[in-house]
Structure 1
């Protein structure tokens, strides 16, 4: 697998009116996203609601997305579960349906030690022949992947990179400093830090805002690569109105509400997350969408 870089969309999981996965809506969302110069689709992450989907649902959704994308871009599948045994079992199942890489989030609830985390990832990487992408999400898992831990894991031939959603640039700098940049990718998982991570030597981002601001997020990366930092900063700043609204609801309720209002029907989030469809919120969403249309972002 070639080294990971560029903008990868952390895609939401479309639902029907009964909170079941909608494959019709998934096709339409994928068609929209694939019309832009993205480098990949990342499914079953935080914004993909993996934590409220059954393993069976995740398997069939992954199979559908992989077949529909049909190698146009890379597909990254969230396969991390809390136990090493279950993660290995599920990862083996997903590896058979053509995923380009598996995203494995650190175990949650009872935060393991760094040595336990190393053992967890090494056992998984030893058990599957699909590349592994570490997913660092300390705000949800209760554990941060220390740079020294990631350095050790980066030496495993089947562990190819990390998505860092810690939001801590010093953390990300540690990964970049200690890991081999020729073989190991460091990606921002915090949309507010895409340009920052690129500037300190990172490789790109797995971005939830790219569900809506797809071309804008791609242009952060392209402008940076072309040496136009001023333009890249403008595109980075464009994300802020969306990010402010996203923080007003439980993940991914606001993102789904915004996509629905834009005309990309992705349905509601699965309970217990409840979408705020009050008049005042819908007005804020409409105003934001109109602003983005006015400045030519969407």
Structure 2
């Protein structure tokens, strides 16, 4: 798998990351180990997690696997803090004390003395950004994080955090982890221009449109899915939207023409967008992950990319500007 470097060059990662939000909550350790083996064999190195994934279960499982089955040095670990573990809806606490306490907990669960990337999971309106960023600085100075970033920040929040770091002469933000896919291109209005201005790399989460771009809902939605709380919360707005359905049909046509899987089409498109360093892919099974890994050998022909750009295009009007 090809490698890319975070802004600043301190960390090199595979250009596809393995998302583990369901680890420790759904599936077994054997399932996770099979995914990680497949990912590693394909040259993947970037593992993405957070203190709240499975209420710490994801980090615990990763720590167990990297200390017993795999080698820690072969992987790049990215974790987050800023959301309080518990039952949804999760609360935000990006105070310096809370962030650093959560970082220590993450390191214990991951069985490591540092992570390559540590990100603030959400903007906290109750805490001054200067305080939040002091925790980021402490993580860097202590050697417990090599690079730092933010997650789910909108454009002005990304720019403000990056500006504060610049003015204080502290560690620059390396990454912004945000939802980005053919079905969700909203970040192109302001987050992408902010990232371009400050040299921040984008790590897309849900690059498969929350699973909808795989095409599994193209022929209809089962009653069991409609009754699922997870489906109604996470998937339904994309799976039942007419615009999204049109985009999915174009992805399916492109996949048939190129004789590859729909996930490979969707991932190749987002992987090569401006400022993107590594889309983060989650999977329930190794078989699902294998379809996503097809994207590594795929370069979309210009005509295919133009079709996907056109069908998924969003309006960008005054005062927003393309980069």
Q: Is it true that 1:78 corresponds to 2:80 in the alignment?
A: yes
Structure 2 portions without partners, runs of 5+: 1-9, 84-92, 181-185, 210-265, 313-323
Q: Distance in 2 between matches of 1:37 and 1:232?
A: 25
Q: How does 1:123-272 map to 2 (within 5 A)?
A: 123-137=138-152, 145-150=157-162, 152-153=164-165, 156-157=170-171, 159-165=173-179, 167-180=186-199, 184-191=200-207, 192=209, 195-196=269-270, 198-208=272-282, 213-220=288-295, 222-224=297-299, 228-230=301-303
Give the TM-score normalised by structure 1: 0.55
1:240-290 CA-to-partner distances (Å, cap 9, x unmatched) read 9xxxxxxxxxxxxxxxxxxxxxxxxxxxxxxxxxxxxxxxxxxxxxxxxxx
Q: 1:201 to 1:77 in 2, by over 3 A?
A: closer
* RMSD across aligned positions (CA): 4.2
Q: Is it true that 1:43 corresponds to 2:49 in the alignment?
A: yes
Q: 1:187 to 1:12 in 2, by over 3 A?
A: closer
Structure 1 portions without partners, runs of 5+: 241-298
**Number of the residue aligned with 1:7:** 16
Q: Distance in 2 between matches of 1:58 and 1:215?
A: 21
1:202-238 CA-to-partner distances (Å, cap 9, x unmatched) read 22212336966435544546534xx74456789x89x
**Number of positions where the alignment pairs a residue of Structure 1 with one of Structure 2:** 220
Say which one has the larger Rg.
Answer: 2
Corresponding residue SS for 2:190: helix
Q: Distance in 1 between matches of 2:172 and 2:187?
A: 26
**Number of the residue aligned with 2:61:** 61
Corresponding residue SS for 1:34: helix
4+ runs of 1 displaced by more than 6 Å? 231-234
